[in-house]
Structure 1
Amino acid sequence: MIMQWSWKQNASCCIGALREGNERPELFARSWQGRLSALYWRVPIFLWAFTVISWSAVTFWGTTDKFLLYMTHWGLILILLESFFGIVVAAKKFSDFPDLGLSLPWYVKVYWVLYNVAIPVAFLITVFYWVILKSSVKKINYAPNPVLDVMLHGINSMVMLLELMLSAHPSRLVHVMQPLYFSLVYLLFTIIYYSAGGLDPWGNVFIYPVINWSKPQQTLVVAVLTGLFLALMHIVTVALATVRDLIARRCVSSSSGVYNDGFEP
């Protein structure tokens, strides 16, 4: 029985499935301080994401069909979807959640997966842009408007950090495969786009200078290092959630549902 349970747990980790514990659905609808509704920050995040996506689309430097070439825009859409499902969850009255035993409603699960992916991906986009692309030998101005530039590659991480630090539900280490699978989908997209002869808005054969499949060995090294860094961002996310909930245990009279077991097997 122990070997069977261990095999199922390892398989669950590899496929990126949610590991559910004792979370009640209402835990995903409030802040760690208590009964403060998550609507207070998820609605502003949704409006921010919608505004920035619209602004970025209107002022996009290329043709409309190339808007989704960039991980930055994928990350923004992730934030939009994450905050939308977060609003759906938070808008449900606590008494309206169905009694499903240890299982969570499907819309809570969708929100949780998007949450697990959107936060580390936002952190990755910010670091990748300012550390790698901005210091690249071949510099390309991906956001001509400096305010929009900061919104796309800086404020994105700040709003996701806000979501992380105010929420009450856990972030778990075993969910690391979820953001990694998302990044793998984007990587496969870049390969297919290159193989089909796709060009960026400036006529280059690459989307990003450091992800250039005409130089496969160099690009594979960058892809592997980026994947490792994304995994590190997930670990940072879990660590921040753990610190958040340790503080919550000291500040909230009832510790029920505020302890993050992200580092537990």
Structure 2
Amino acid sequence: MNTETNDSTEFRQKPDKLKHEFHRHKFRLHHHAYEDFHRSQWQTKPTSWAFLIYRWLLAIFFNVGVATCIYFYFLGGRWFIYLTNWGFMLCGITSTTGAICLSIYHKHPEGMVQRVCIIKCYWACYWTNLIIAYVIGIVYWGAIHFKKGEDDDRGDVSTVYNLWTHAMPSLLFTVDHMIVAQPSRILHFIYPFFFGLIYGIFTIIYYLLGGLDVRDRTYIYSMLNHAIPHQSLGTMALITLLIIACSTFHYGLYRLRVFIAGKLKKLQ
């Protein structure tokens, strides 16, 4: 049974006061109205066919991208060593899960809302995907894309797939973040942090086992060259700060979305 209360007795979707967002229980995946995860902020009826169609189009877009990217750039399995591709797979998983859950909600609303464990997993996955997409985009366009020659970490990937994997996730999921009705939490930065931590541990293990990148170098990314420990640790620290910054930014977008919805009388 849900025990968490909301500061507003008028609208269940009105967020808590900012000072309450830093309470310890906000690390948890708990919400007082789980139906918000299956609705658009802007729909007027309990279900929306337009929102459902949109969700499936988003899922198809990313899953086609993941499947074709693996087909063209499998690289003997080394497609799976790059953070970009971890994030791209997460886009496919998140969008597909959202579309399936919404489809079930359309047929059995009460039954879907009661599947709290699934909803919580989706919430963690959604927030992780949203933040990691931004981190990947910022790091790629800021530190990798314009590097040339032997120090180029990109490999030979077409412009289409560069945009598909490094630009479209952050762009489309930002739009999605402004469409959905689900809440956001600043302290949920821990979920993308754990995702990044798992990837960092993977790169260390890969290095220790003698793994090579597509150019037969002993590191996957030059900034994560574990032969230079202080450099790789510094990179990990900066990525952590970037995760916190992106989480704060997207929490701000959530508050903006709710504010606009309130002005347009779309809060429920």
* TM more than 0.5: yes
Distance in 2, Cα, partners of 1:45 & 1:58: 20
Amino acid at match of 1:30: R
For the pair 1:79 / 2:91, whether they are aligned, the reply is: yes
Higher helix share: 2
Is the Cα–Cα contact under 8 Å of residues 206 and 213 in structure 1 kept in the other structure? yes
Give structure 1 stretches of 5+ with no counterpart: 1-5, 257-265
Structure 1 residues 137-176: Cα deviation after superposition (integer angstroms, max 9, x where no partner): 7123435311111111111111211220100011111211
What CA deviation, in whole Å up to 9, does each residue of 1:93-117 have, x standing for no partner? 37532498xx762221121111110
Q: How does 1:131-210 map to 2 (within 5 A)?
A: 131-136=142-147, 138-210=151-223
TM-score, normalised with respect to structure 2: 0.83
Question: Residues 252 and 94 (structure 1 numbering): CA distance in 2 closer, same or farther, change over 3 Å?
Answer: farther
- TM normalised by structure 1 equals 0.84
2:167 corresponds to 1:127: no
CA distance in 2, matches of 1:201, 1:143: 9
In structure 2, the CA distance between the partners of 1:174 and 1:94, relative to structure 1 (3 Å rule), is farther
Match of 2:222, SS state, is coil
How far 1:177 moved relative to its partner? 0.4
Distance in 1 separating the partners of 2:152 and 2:226? 18
Asked if structure 1 preserves the Cα contact closer than 8 Å seen for 2:155 and 2:214, the reply is: no
SS in 2 for 1:32: coil
Give the counterpart of 2:125 among 75, 91, 114: 114
Classify 1:99/1:68 alpha carbon distance in 2 versus 1 (closer, same or farther; 3 Å). Answer: closer
- CA distance in 2 between partners of 1:210 and 1:162 (Å): 30
* CA distance in 2: counterparts of 1:110 and 1:193, whole angstroms: 28
- Which residue number corresponds to residue 29 of structure 1? 38
For residues 19-39 of structure 1, the C-alpha deviation after alignment (integer angstroms, 9 at most, x for no partner) is x2322x321111101233532
1:88 CA displacement: 2.2
Aligned amino acid, residue 84 of structure 1: T
Task: Assess if the C-alpha contact under 8 Å between 2:144 and 2:154 holds in 1.
Answer: no
- Structure 1 moving runs of 4+ over 6 Å: none
Q: Is it true that 1:17 corresponds to 2:54 in the alignment?
A: no
Provide the rounded CA distance (Å) in 2 between the counterparts of 1:93 and 1:224. Answer: 43
What does 1:90-109 correspond to in 2, within 5 Å?
90-91=102-103, 92-93=105-106, 96-98=109-111, 105-109=116-120
How large is the Cα RMSD of the aligned pairs?
2.2
* Aligned residue number for residue 262 of structure 1: none
Give the 3-state SS of the residue equivalent to 1:210 in structure 2. Answer: helix
Query: What is the aligned-residue identity percentage?
Result: 24
In the alignment of these two chains, the number of paired residues is 240
8 A Cα contact 1:85 1:110, kept in partner: no
What whole-Å deviation, never above 9, does each CA across 1:226-265 have from its counterpart, x for those lacking one? Answer: 1110111111111111101110111125x33xxxxxxxxx
Q: Are 2:55 and 2:99, in contact at CA under 8 Å, matched by a contact in 1?
A: yes
